[in-house]
């Protein structure tokens, strides 16, 4: 039994829900960004006009960094050196271990610099991959510090070979960058770290300031303010994949351990009241056992995190979803398209083929979401708010662009030119057609 007074974990029975009720379960905190979009406008304009002055002011106003001055927006090499003395050696070893796993995964993900294939005799086509020149990696700090996100964004940027990666992160109340974040930055291979959070960070990357270089892209998760600024500035900077507040769905079948299921429900739900966290099952007895077990785990969290988790799991963006069948459970998961999906089953692979829309699928009771967030290697910066239907997790490909490459011999030209001439003539483009006609042969002879 719980020693604190908490609301009951919500139980949503799919068969009894109206269409509107079901739609509310599928909604996220960031679905309605209107007030945030309106609010970020003045922030963006201030950064565009005032640059570093605005960043320092917003750091003092929004982040409580009362001592933040214009000349202290950039973390120095000395700051990073000092961070290695401030962070416990065991924690540094954990950061090193995590960075190594993340690097191994993303090195395996890296595409070849170039490939070519002869698709017809004398016709070679392929792609060449090159890194994006400058990318900003955002590491949030609103409800804590996240050196894990620093590793997850900066390591693939380094693996991809981005020449000018930078890290943006809000300052703490002391006006400094979280020391473990600075350690993570150096372990990832990035030394340019700047104190800027939320909408002002997106604006700084989009326009550039005297201190912060303009970037072509920004990646990383954040609050609705960050998401709104990315949306507003999408014409100025590539906003990367949509990554907002945390969300998860656990699928538990009749073989699942209810205590582990209850324990894992607290993982993403403790991020904040704007998170979403569901467990889906078709086993009513299991659902009740999990409901009864969750409050005991809230007792092992601090008051703030327990309040976040209990708020999420007792409301419309969390709790237990009871399906009438496996098929109904799979349908709900695919409609939701969660950021994180964990399959709690003695035979998790039997469910895998039925889950089409999820940013991350973790199989079995040992694959705890927290291990995936920190240690496993695949990226934990994942598309949210249903974007898993069309987007992939952050990876090396987000820091690389490709260009098509083609080479043609005289023999290849001779085969393709007549078809090309016919196509161009049909579409009414004389220049296109002339370029593959007898006029080209004449030009070659005269040249």
pLDDT tens string 201-230: 999 999 999 999 999 999 999 888 999 999
How many angstroms separate the CA atoms of 354 and 253, rounded?
13
- pLDDT tens, 247-306? 999 999 999 999 999 999 999 999 989 899 999 999 999 999 999 999 999 999 999 999
Instruction: Let me know: does 365 contact 386? Beta carbons within 8 Å.
Output: no
Among 325, 328, 359, 318, smallest CA distance to 342 is for 359
- pLDDT tens, 229-256? 999 999 999 999 988 788 999 999 999 9
Instruction: Let me know: does 406 contact 117? Beta carbons within 8 Å.
Output: no
Instruction: Let me know: does 87 contact 179? Beta carbons within 8 Å.
Output: yes
Question: Is the Cα torsion angle 357, 363, 364, 370 positive or negative in sign?
Answer: negative
Q: What is the mean predicted confidence (pLDDT) over 179-197? A: 97
Instruction: Let me know: does 248 contact 268? Beta carbons within 8 Å.
Output: yes
This prediction has a pTM of: 0.91
Among 226, 81, 238, 74, smallest CA distance to 149 is for 226
Instruction: Let me know: does 177 contact 168? Beta carbons within 8 Å.
Output: no
Residues β-bridged to residue 361: 341
How many angstroms separate the CA atoms of 398 and 384, rounded?
16
Asked whether residue 2 carries a pLDDT value surpassing 70, the answer given is no
How many angstroms separate the CA atoms of 205 and 196, rounded?
10
How many angstroms separate the CA atoms of 183 and 196, rounded?
18
pLDDT at position 3 is: 58
Q: How confident is the model at residue 1 (pLDDT cuts 50, 70, 90)?
A: very low
Three-state DSSP class for residue 13: strand
Q: What is the mean predicted confidence (pLDDT) over 34-57? A: 96
Catalytic residue, candidates 339, 360, 365, 391:
339
- Sequence-ordered list of residues with C-beta below 8 angstroms from that of 430, at least 6 positions apart, any chain: 424
Instruction: Let me know: does 12 contact 25? Beta carbons within 8 Å.
Output: yes
Instruction: Let me know: does 250 contact 344? Beta carbons within 8 Å.
Output: yes
How many angstroms separate the CA atoms of 62 and 200, rounded?
10
Q: Provide the token pair at 144.
A: 């804590």
Asked whether residue 359 carries a pLDDT value surpassing 90, the answer given is yes
Residue with tokens 């070893």: 93
pLDDT at position 53 is: 98
Instruction: Let me know: does 95 contact 147? Beta carbons within 8 Å.
Output: yes
Instruction: Let me know: does 281 contact 324? Beta carbons within 8 Å.
Output: no
340 is catalytic: yes
How many angstroms separate the CA atoms of 260 and 262, rounded?
5
Strands 340-344 and 217-219: unpaired
Asked whether residue 152 carries a pLDDT value surpassing 70, the answer given is yes
pLDDT at position 30 is: 66
Residue with tokens 């100025």: 236
- Sequence-ordered list of residues with C-beta below 8 angstroms from that of 321, at least 6 positions apart, any chain: 12, 14, 25, 278, 279, 280, 281, 329, 332
Residue 123 DSSP code: E
pLDDT at position 399 is: 98
Catalytic residue, candidates 12, 271, 340, 391:
340
Q: What is the mean pLDDT of the chain?
A: 95
Please report the domains of the chain, with CATH numbers, ordered by start residue. 11-28+245-377 (3.40.50.1980), 34-116+132-241 (3.40.50.1980), 409-446 (no CATH)
How many angstroms separate the CA atoms of 384 and 340, rounded?
9
Instruction: Let me know: does 244 contact 259? Beta carbons within 8 Å.
Output: no
Among 217, 160, 226, smallest CA distance to 188 is for 160
DSSP E strands in 57-122: the ranges are 114-120
Instruction: Let me know: does 166 contact 182? Beta carbons within 8 Å.
Output: no
Task: Work out the percent of the chain whose per-residue pLDDT is above 70.
Answer: 98
- pLDDT tens, 80-98? 999 999 999 999 999 999 9
How many angstroms separate the CA atoms of 431 and 435, rounded?
6
N- to C-terminal Cα distance for the chain? 90
Give CA separation, 261 vs 72, 299, 353, 404, in Å: 46, 16, 21, 47
């Amino acid at each position: 039994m719980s020693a604190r007074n908490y609301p009951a974990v919500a139980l949503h029975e799919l068969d009894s829900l109206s269409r509107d009720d079901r739609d509310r379960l599928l909604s996220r905190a960031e679905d309605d960004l209107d007030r945030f979009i309106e609010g970020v406008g003045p922030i963006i304009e201030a950064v565009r006009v005032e640059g570093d002055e605005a960043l320092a002011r917003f750091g003092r106003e929004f982040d409580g960094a009362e001592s933040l001055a214009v000349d202290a927006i950039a973390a120095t090499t000395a700051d990073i050196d000092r961070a290695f003395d401030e962070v416990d050696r065991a924690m540094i070893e954990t950061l090193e271990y995590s960075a190594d796993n993340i690097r191994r995964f993303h090195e395996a993900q890296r595409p070849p610099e170039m490939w070519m294939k002869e698709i017809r005799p004398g016709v070679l086509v392929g792609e060449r991959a090159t890194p994006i020149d400058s990318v900003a990696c955002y590491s949030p700090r609103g409800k804590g510090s996240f050196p894990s996100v620093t590793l997850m964004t900066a390591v693939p940027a380094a693996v991809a070979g981005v020449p000018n990666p930078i890290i943006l992160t809000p300052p703490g109340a002391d006006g400094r960058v979280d020391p473990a974040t600075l350690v993570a930055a150096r372990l990832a291979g990035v030394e340019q770290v700047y104190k800027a959070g939320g909408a002002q960070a997106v604006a700084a990357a989009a326009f550039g300031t005297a201190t912060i270089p303009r970037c072509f892209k920004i990646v990383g998760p954040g609050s609705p303010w960050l998401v709104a600024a990315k949306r507003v500035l999408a014409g100025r900077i590539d906003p990367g994949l949509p990554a907002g507040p945390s969300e998860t769905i656990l699928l538990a079948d009749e073989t699942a351990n209810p205590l582990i299921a209850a324990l894992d429900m607290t993982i993403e739900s403790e991020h904040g009241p704007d998170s979403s966290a569901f467990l889906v099952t078709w086993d009513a007895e299991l659902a009740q056992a999990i409901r009864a077990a969750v409050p005991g785990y809230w007792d092992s969290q601090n008051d703030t995190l327990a309040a976040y988790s209990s708020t999420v799991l007792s409301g419309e963006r969390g709790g237990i979803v009871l399906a009438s069948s496996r098929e109904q459970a799979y349908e709900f998961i695919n409609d939701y398209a969660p950021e994180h999906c964990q399959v709690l089953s003695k035979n998790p692979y039997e469910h895998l083929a039925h889950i089409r829309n999820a940013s991350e699928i973790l199989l079995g009771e040992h694959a705890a979401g927290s291990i995936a967030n920190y240690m496993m290697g695949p990226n934990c910066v994942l598309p949210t708010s249903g974007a898993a239907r069309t987007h992939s997790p952050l990876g090396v490909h987000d820091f690389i662009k490709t260009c098509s490459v083609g080479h043609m011999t005289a023999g290849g030209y001779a085969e393709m030119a007549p078809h090309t001439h016919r196509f161009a003539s049909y579409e009414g483009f004389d220049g296109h057609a002339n370029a593959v006609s007898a006029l080209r042969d004449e030009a070659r002879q005269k040249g």
